[in-house]
Structure 1
């Protein structure tokens, strides 16, 4: 599975209110700031984001299946076990005067330790009528705050590299960086998003308190990445894939060659100002403003 194109009454910043053992340190300024940023994003989206409880799990399953198709969500028992064990099973509900608390977004992440302790963010779903409205962003920021609160400073996930809006959200808006290319990562999915297309994925690393991420979350100016090779992305690959599968298959094949050559040369994909890929050897934390000082 992969994170969707997504784009919380939110509980107040929870770091100060979370029950702690007597010898557990108080939340740091970084953690407090992360919860405050998540709360602000949720307010802007008109939602409340919080940890799911057992009463929410049917709604979480429903959101995942609405996004990927019937039977494509972990079942309720699995979500219950993961939630009970402390993984991030998060839910976003409508907020505001006179509105019901209907679930409009959900996120699932679990701990991993391959290559270092991290949270693997596996699924991020938003109801169709609330996409592109900031719900997915609010969920990600709450996930970041919870991770930092528990001493986890890195989140990873995968996404289809040909979906332009996901690339923009991941690399520019959130400040994640591509670390690997995985052809056919999940095998043939036949789900509501990918269909019969190949499940090629970029893996990204979100270093939660890095200069790159802090700049992105502050909406700072993105660097002008240096590099000679680029790869153009379609404005709406998903619609074009549905309308012309043969064309989509050709673009998939071309992208595989471009990505393999770039990674073999030690280059990393970033986005140009036109939201096309440029392959660069620049530091992921490059900051053009420092060059002008």
Structure 2
């Protein structure tokens, strides 16, 4: 499908602005960048947790999004995405890594917006990925900053990972869908406040789950159990997760594209 030229132009402008605000340059990786991309992924998930060079080279050669962000010529972030066709053609954004000293500085946002601009240039309007719903900053980034929406709850999606981030915790995930030219996404990218959602259920998320998992694994396991029961029950009843101003989950039957309150 084609995307209106003005939408593509604005996507490129937003991606350039995000990179400028983060102080980085974002581009498609070249073969000589792949060792750095692997290093960024392994720094985040652990040695051996990155696709190897030949796989990255093949994905890149086929035109998938293997992206790198640099600051002062040094690699500080990388993203990997590839095309899928379940429930329609889309880009599955699989991995994104940023060096620890650049996290929360806008590098991840710049990578995502560059990835979005590439997709729209090629007529792809749908991007999807999974994330751990208990990681509060990622929930905010996905739902509020990007305007993506939750479409499925996937309990223990990857099985036991034993990586640097997850350890032995269960790999529960939300599947996200980012309709990149939708009114919801455009409002989020413009910084427009969300509606006041009609609420059927709530889940307070007022903890740093990663710290809790490290400091009190038993408490983390209880929260995982509680959230799993709530997510499974709420989504099976047709409720959608959103976030309120405190970044707590609320569950609603409101349409994802509902206009903000006047």
With the shorter chain as reference, the TM-score category is: over 0.9
Q: Deviations over 1:203-256 (max 9, x none)?
A: 000000000000000000111111131001133100110000000000000001
Cα drift, residue 29 of structure 1: 1.1
What's the counterpart of residue 128 of structure 2? 156
What CA distance in whole angstroms lies between the structure 1 residues aligned with 2:3 and 2:227?
47
Indicate which of 11, 16, 40 corresponds to 1:39.
16
Equivalenced residue count is: 261
**Could you say which structure has the larger radius of gyration?**
1
What CA distance in whole angstroms lies between the structure 2 residues aligned with 1:270 and 1:182?
17
What CA distance in whole angstroms lies between the structure 1 residues aligned with 2:207 and 2:35?
34
What's the counterpart of residue 186 of structure 2? 214
Q: Deviations over 1:138-190 (max 9, x none)?
A: 00000000000000000000000001110000000000000000000000000
What's the counterpart of residue 48 of structure 2? 71
Indicate which of 212, 215, 230 corresponds to 2:202.
230
Alignment of 1:77-156 (within 5 A): 77-94=54-71, 100-156=72-128
* Secondary structure in structure 2 of the residue aligned to 1:114: coil
CA contact (8 A) 1:162 1:234 kept: no
What CA distance in whole angstroms lies between the structure 1 residues aligned with 2:44 and 2:196?
35
* Secondary structure in structure 2 of the residue aligned to 1:288: coil
* Secondary structure in structure 2 of the residue aligned to 1:29: helix
* Secondary structure in structure 2 of the residue aligned to 1:71: coil
Cα drift, residue 288 of structure 1: 2.1
CA contact (8 A) 2:3 2:121 kept: no
- Select between 233-242 and 176-185 the one with higher mean Cα deviation: 233-242
What's the counterpart of residue 231 of structure 2? 259
What is the TM-score normalised by the length of structure 1?
0.88
Query: Is 1:270 the counterpart of 2:242 in the alignment?
Result: yes
Cα drift, residue 27 of structure 1: 7.5
Indicate which of 19, 22, 29 corresponds to 1:52.
29
What is the TM-score normalised by the length of structure 2?
0.98
**For structure 1, which runs of at least 5 residues remain unmatched after alignment?**
1-24, 95-99
CA contact (8 A) 2:3 2:123 kept: no
What CA distance in whole angstroms lies between the structure 2 residues aligned with 1:63 and 1:202?
24
Question: Over aligned residue pairs, what C-alpha RMSD do you find?
Answer: 1.2
Indicate which of 167, 186, 193 corresponds to 1:195.
167
CA contact (8 A) 1:177 1:204 kept: yes
**For structure 2, which runs of at least 5 residues remain unmatched after alignment?**
none
